[in-house]
Amino acid sequence: MSTKMCFEIPVLVPSTKGSLVVFGVESTSHTFGVGIIEFQNNNVCVLANVSSQYKPERGGIHPSEASQHHVNVSNEVVKRALSEAGISISDIDVVAVAVGPGLGPCLRVGATLARFISAYWGKPLVPVNHAVAHIEIGKLVGNMRDPLIVYVSGGNTLIAVQKDKRYRVLGETLDIPLGNLLDTFTREIGIAPPYIVGGKHAIDICAEWSSEFTPLPYTVKGSDLSFSGLLTAALRIAREAGGDKTKLGRVCNSLRETAFNMLIEVVERSLMLTGKREILLVGGVASNTVLREKFETIARFYGVRYYGTPPEIAGDNGLMIAYTGLLQYLYGRIVKPEELVVKQRLRLDEEVYPWLL
Ligand code: AMP
Ligand code: MG
């Protein structure tokens, strides 16, 4: 998302005079990010969105290593964001921070920074639910008011809608999330990390080695999904393939196709059930080109509007925290620095949000 872009807020907020600068901090998992926005006349302009990602040399995310990465880069990321925005800390009106869900040690880095800025410079502090932030930034940039929400990331896979000022989860993974499935599989067969190269996931690179398909466990229960049987079966076949690139390509292609089609099935069912006319795809896996094409196809088929968040805002970022922090602030949801607590298992549907339908 290039800076200086402005968007009209698609949700109802109290009318406010003057302008507000919001500084948002993201540190829930692999990304340390700072986003800075300016709010005026129901419009939000992006002043900065700077991130640094922890990339494990091997294995998955080690919470203590990731949090150490965040500590190491925080100074540089904050400085770059302020300089891009052309402001100093004293120009900030509100400080927002993602308090969960996420990894405890990582969450505490962002929380400590936000508490410090709030306490030292006397700025109002706003806690933000990271999952809500993924959705709100998608609604803002995609200009959507009442979409069927599909949130697919490393830590979440769920379908939700707004009802009675809450997000209601219609379906979700019963075990591992979609991003986790793709990451674990590619790691276990030795082609990742890095998980993303040139915007492509390792599963996509491997899937190009074959266009053949092997049936794999497909587990959809109502609107819920389960990916662990698929992972186990695909790993077994991949191990039998040894180093044969074509055979491996066939498993990658089949795993991706099966997992994405499972998701599309529950999306179609939820669309029929709710009668929604918009689909919003958010979260890191929303960057996937093959998945986006499938969503474009079903949106065309059902005649509904579809918006897939672009890669710069699909994955974790500080911009989404700043924007959701703004919404919270406009409804007076501030806390004292000493009252700010991180919640590793914060759920999407836990709280009422006054700006929701
Ligand atoms: P998030 O936690 O929202 O930042 O999302 C991170 C997850 O998104 C990880 O599991 C990544 O592997 C996944 N991801 C990022 N880019 C892509 C892509 N192009 N295709 C598939 N998965 C992706
Ligand atoms: Mg995320």
Residue 346, pLDDT above cutoff 80: yes
What is the spatial distance between Cα 167 and Cα 37, in angstroms, rounded to a whole number? 24
Same domain, yes or no, for 131 and 98? yes
Of all residues in the chain, what percent carry a pLDDT higher than 90?
94
Q: Is residue 245 part of a domain?
A: yes
Q: Using a 6 Å cutoff on CB, does residue 283 contact ligand 1?
A: yes
Q: Is residue 237 part of a domain?
A: yes
Same domain, yes or no, for 129 and 179? no
Q: Using a 6 Å cutoff on CB, does residue 51 contact ligand 1?
A: no
Same domain, yes or no, for 26 and 126? yes
Q: Is residue 218 part of a domain?
A: yes
- Given pLDDT bands bounded at 50, 70 and 90, which one contains residue 1? low
The predicted-structure confidence for 311-341, as pLDDT tens digits, reads as follows 989 999 999 999 999 999 999 999 999 999 9
Report CA(282)–ligand 2 centroid distance (Å): 9
Same domain, yes or no, for 17 and 115? yes
Same domain, yes or no, for 130 and 10? yes
Residue 211, pLDDT above cutoff 90: yes
Of 107-111, 118-122, 191-195, 263-267, the least confident: 191-195
CATH number at 226 reads: 3.30.420.40
Atom of ligand 1 minimally distant from the CA of 177: 10
Q: Is residue 323 part of a domain?
A: yes
Residue 40, pLDDT above cutoff 90: yes
Domain of residue 117, residue span = 6-136+313-339
Same domain, yes or no, for 120 and 154? no
Q: Which residue's C-alpha comes closest to atom 11 of ligand 1?
A: 179
Report CA(137)–ligand 2 centroid distance (Å): 12
The whole-number pLDDT of residue 243 equals: 84
- Given pLDDT bands bounded at 50, 70 and 90, which one contains residue 347? very high
Report CA(245)–ligand 2 centroid distance (Å): 32
Domains in the chain: how many in total?
A: 2
Report field, pTM of the whole predicted structure over 0.85: yes
The whole-number pLDDT of residue 2 equals: 60
Residue 354, pLDDT above cutoff 80: yes
Report CA(328)–ligand 2 centroid distance (Å): 19
Same domain, yes or no, for 215 and 127? no
Q: Using a 6 Å cutoff on CB, does residue 287 contact ligand 1?
A: yes
Residue 58, pLDDT above cutoff 90: no
The whole-number pLDDT of residue 59 equals: 81
